[in-house]
């Protein structure tokens, strides 16, 4: 069984800590609609913090992005959830005799 997009996004949030991730950065890990992915994580009981940021565009000018990150308490919850998903993947991949 493959890693889900939710697990990929959640792992990125855990790894990036307070730096977090925005929609532009999330494209590199397979998310084309980060706000929806974050909403799905919220339905799993995680609190994903957010704030607006303004970044320069390659073509000139600026663009506003929402930056998402987890606090320490939610990083702990996220790691527990990621570990559960890993266990489920291993059990589905095993052959029973």
**Structural domains in the chain?**
5-92 (3.10.28)
pLDDT for position 97? 44
What is the pLDDT of the chain when averaged over all its residues? 92
One-character DSSP codes across 2-39: PPPHHHHHHHHHHHHGGG-EEHHHHGGGT-S-HHHHHH
Nearest to 72 by CA among 52, 35, 47, 39: 47
Could you tell me the pLDDT band of residue 2, with boundaries at 50, 70 and 90?
confident
| pTM for the full predicted model | 0.87
């Amino acid at each position: 069984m493959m890693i889900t997009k939710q697990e990929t996004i959640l792992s990125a949030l855990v790894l990036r800590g307070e730096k977090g991730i925005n929609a532009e950065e999330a494209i590199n890990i397979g998310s084309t609609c980060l706000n929806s992915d974050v909403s799905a994580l919220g339905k799993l009981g995680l609190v994903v913090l957010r704030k607006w940021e303004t970044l320069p565009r390659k073509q000139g000018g600026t663009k506003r992005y929402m930056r998402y990150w987890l606090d320490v308490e939610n990083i702990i919850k996220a790691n527990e959830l990621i570990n559960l998903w890993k266990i489920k993947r291993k059990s589905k991949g095993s052959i029973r005799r």
